Structure 1
């Protein structure tokens, strides 16, 4: 968080999780939520925090965490190439519509999935790091288990719905806090207001970033 009070920081984190968990078509029906003080880990407020729920595009936080762990292990760097495969290019929107064979740096790919929430690029990252999407998903689940996300299971790196894909507000809070504590050097990825490719600009899907004083991440997701 920025230099504001810890309690404000915790509320902003909780607000992001609440927005991402609101999957109902009616704005008055909120999904599971949890507000956590990032510094003390005090739970300020929660509702249905242990209820299994769709991770939606908050899955990309788990993808990013798995990438950061691979960088830390020396397997890849932010300059490593990410190649769009035919399989990745076939993913449904939200997507970048890159053609098979197109390449980008891992740095650019991370910005794209965290700002534009591109499903095709998420799969391309997975394949470029682990050789296949299933191998990367296995790694995601292993990392989730290691950090204590006891009620989460991922079947893809982008959050598209499918049988056996679930999480809880509590587990997402664990992931968000772990990202902030373990990889503070990558905090800027979650607070980007947008990015530009050529002449086209892509604003962040998280409407709090750049519009609400003190908001600095992390991710939204919708089904």
Structure 2
């Protein structure tokens, strides 16, 4: 498993809106052939960005390639919000759980193949539990397959200006070819705040009820 990642995004009711993204991740191996080096500890990467203008106020290793881990789910949610806004997805729509989705390792909601979950519950499962099985359910609903959805995620990332990001799955589970940077994640955070204000309140939720459990 890759080291955990932390992201903090805050919408401020002040003159200057900022997005702070702090990521503690292991960088990807260098693309060029270089002499092997002894593995080091996790590398800290951070960026402070004005959410209104996109101006970078402070950064450290902001363009270092790294694994996105569960920050990947931010893009899964962005595409979910866009589908809701287009009307191709509804909050009360039940999504079917495939065998592939049900096979995802924890963290998960322990969905069983053939069961269903409403879109809004799926959103809450991602923002509160970082559920890998639910991320795949959303990805398959939006892309037809998780692989096809990952291609859509990457294409959307490029359109947003996330130049160094490649997605390979909907959840952020380990894949050596899945990569991003702190700068790219700040761009994604800004898009979530700027373009999906009516859905942004979901990120304030600390818990939700699912089949009798909280």
Indicate the residue corresponding to 2:25 in structure 1.
23
Given the two structures, how large is their TM-score scaled by the length of structure 2? 0.83
Q: How much does 1:109 deviate?
A: 0.3
Alignment of 1:1-223 (within 5 A): 4-6=13-15, 10=18, 13-14=19-20, 17-18=21-22, 21-23=23-25, 31-201=44-214
> How much does 1:101 deviate?
1.2
Contact 2:11 2:193 (C-alpha < 8 Å) held by counterparts:
no
Matches of 2:132 and 2:153 in 1, distance apart? 16
Distance in 1 (alpha carbons) for counterparts of 2:120 and 2:137? 13
**Bigger helix share:** 1
Provide closer, same or farther for how the CA distance between residues 74 and 99 of structure 1 changes in structure 2, counting only shifts above 3 A: same
If you compute each CA radius of gyration, which structure gives the higher value, 1 or 2?
A: 2
Task: Tell me how far apart the structure 1 counterparts of residues 83 and 210 of structure 2 sit (CA, whole Å).
Answer: 26
Larger CA deviation: 173-182 vs 64-73: 64-73
**What is the CA-CA distance between 1:88 and the residue it aligns to?**
0.5
Q: Deviations over 1:107-133 (max 9, x none)?
A: 110110111000001001111222211
What root-mean-square deviation, in Å, do the aligned CA atoms of Structure 1 and Structure 2 show? 1.9
Measured after TM superposition, the shift of residue 6 of structure 1 is 4.8
For structure 1, the residue ranges without an aligned partner over 5 or more in a row are 202-223
Q: Contact between 1:113 and 1:122, CA under 8 Å: does it hold in 2?
A: yes
Contact 1:141 1:153 in 2 (8 A): yes
